[in-house]
Structure 1
Amino acid sequence: MPTPTKHLVLVHGLSHGAWCWYKVVCHLRSCGYHVTAVDLGGCGVHQSGVEEIATISDYIQPLINVLESLSAVNERVVLVGHSYGGLAISMAMERYSHIVSVGVFITSYMPNCRDPPALQIKQYFKSLKAERFMDCKFRLKNVSPMIVELGDDYMATMMYPNCQPEDLALAKMLVRPNGFFLEDMSKESLLTSEKYGSICRVYVICEGDQVMTEDFQKFIVKDSPPDEVKSFPEAGHMIMLSKYQDLSIYLQDVTTRYS
């Protein structure tokens, strides 16, 4: 059997899509790496709307499809999740632990194997005052699951303050409503130590992040200790846009070290 090749799979955060990784993808591919950026259900150019994505399984299905195809051709995977994408790659690591070499969590949720992942989401909302969400709109779907629509002022002030103006303009045109799937993520035993817990995890702290604050990122690291912690100074929330070359070089290093 041939030696498996390494494939980086990049997963976006809340309301974004594969498009937000465009600079990182370009840089990694120019260095000879195999890279795929995924649109999760109802995000990016995915055909379904947010009302059609009923469960967390529906939401991560595009990612599962990618991992299934890579498994079939004997490729090892470096899974990279940004922000809410940390929950998506966690679920995928549980299902495809046999092909994932390492999970990279960038200023994101990173669940442990003890508690339902929803506990970290609830802790996040407890840690912030309502006014921090500015012009974002929250609504209920089928009574329980919460859907968010990111506001333009929120994106400009909290998410993209250190990015190029054209990156903010692109985001304003392409972001879509996103569900939190709290009911699904409140179930017990979604992640096990035998599968998800057996995979090396790296956490990237983004200093100056006003969305996932540094205090909350440090809480995540303490709540679910990873194998490695890396800090990027003055990165803010959208590190893949503001410091994409630094991030790309670090991902190359992680890919090499975690075989």
Structure 2
Amino acid sequence: MERHFVLVHGVMHGAWCWYKVATLLQSVGHKVTSLDMAASGIHPKQASEVNSYREYVEPLTQFMKALPSHESVILVGHSAGGGCISVAMEQFPEKVSVAAFVAALMPGPNITFAALTKEDVMLSKSSMRPSPSFNDYELFDKQTTFTKENFGKVRRVYIMGDQDMLMKEDFQKWMIELHPPNEFKKIDGSDHFLMFSTPIQLFSCLQDISHKYY
């Protein structure tokens, strides 16, 4: 059965970073959409033109809005891309069959964006394109409430690399404890960028998730 995966990159990367995993998923018959957030990858905007987090996430929210009501997707967010897919989960819970957080930020009813963005500097060290600098996280938190009725109804899987030197394991476990996912997976031998260091293992995890939760 064909599943539709929507892949969301982390800060300063773009849709291009998923090329290995996307190719593997497509090779077994899945549909894959890799999106560039605003001012990322080949998106036409420059970082200086993106004035809010809401604008940054807009390519994903517009994509989700355009999906027919009877369709659902598997959202996959890497690193800061976890914040993007959390927004989509809250706004379009009926269109998300499961969300996979890959070494990712996981804001939700019990964790605000502002609390998580203290990791931003660390996560930006291995990047390819200047990222928008947001000063509106606290305002965004006031305008965007993650609820158990929407965010909470979407099934979630958290995937961690055992050699992640950018996002500390304690930090990831803290998010997991506050928002326990349906399933937790750890990939041996992987650093923070699982799609580069262990693409086959990540592909295998996503395949397993699609069979269990789609």
Aligned to 2:108: 112
One-letter code aligned to 1:100: V
Find 2:76's aligned residue among 73, 80, 87.
Answer: 80
Tell me if 1:13 matches 2:29.
no
Specify every segment of 5 or more residues in structure 2 that has no aligned partner in the other structure, as ranges. none
Cα distance in 2 for residues equivalent to 1:35 and 1:189: 28
One-letter code aligned to 1:11: V
**CA deviation string 1:87-133 (max 9, x = no partner):** 000001111111101110011111231342221223x47xxxx8xx5
Moved over 4 A (4+): none
* Displacement after TM superposition at 1:182 (Å): 2.3
* Displacement after TM superposition at 1:13 (Å): 0.4
Find 2:133's aligned residue among 179, 197, 221.
Answer: 179
Tell me if 1:44 matches 2:27.
no
Pairing of 1:30-69 with structure 2 (within 5 A): 30-69=27-66
Tell me if 1:92 matches 2:88.
yes
Cα distance in 1 for residues equivalent to 2:87 and 2:144: 11
Aligned to 2:97: 101
Aligned to 1:192: 147
* Displacement after TM superposition at 1:189 (Å): 5.2
Pairing of 1:215-254 with structure 2 (within 5 A): 215-254=170-209
Q: Secondary structure at the match of 1:47?
A: coil
Report how many residues are paired.
213
Cα distance in 2 for residues equivalent to 1:252 and 1:49: 35
One-letter code aligned to 2:116: Q
Pairing of 1:196-207 with structure 2 (within 5 A): 196-207=151-162
Q: Secondary structure at the match of 1:98?
A: helix
Cα distance in 1 for residues equivalent to 2:68 and 2:53: 22
- Considering only CA atoms, is the larger Rg found in Structure 1 or Structure 2? 1
Give the aligned CA root-mean-square deviation in angstroms: 2.1
Identity over aligned pairs, percent: 37
* Displacement after TM superposition at 1:52 (Å): 1.3
Q: In 1, are the aligned partners of 2:110 and 2:178 still within 8 Å (CA)?
A: no
Specify every segment of 5 or more residues in structure 1 that has no aligned partner in the other structure, as ranges. 134-147, 156-170
**TM-score relative to the length of structure 2:** 0.91
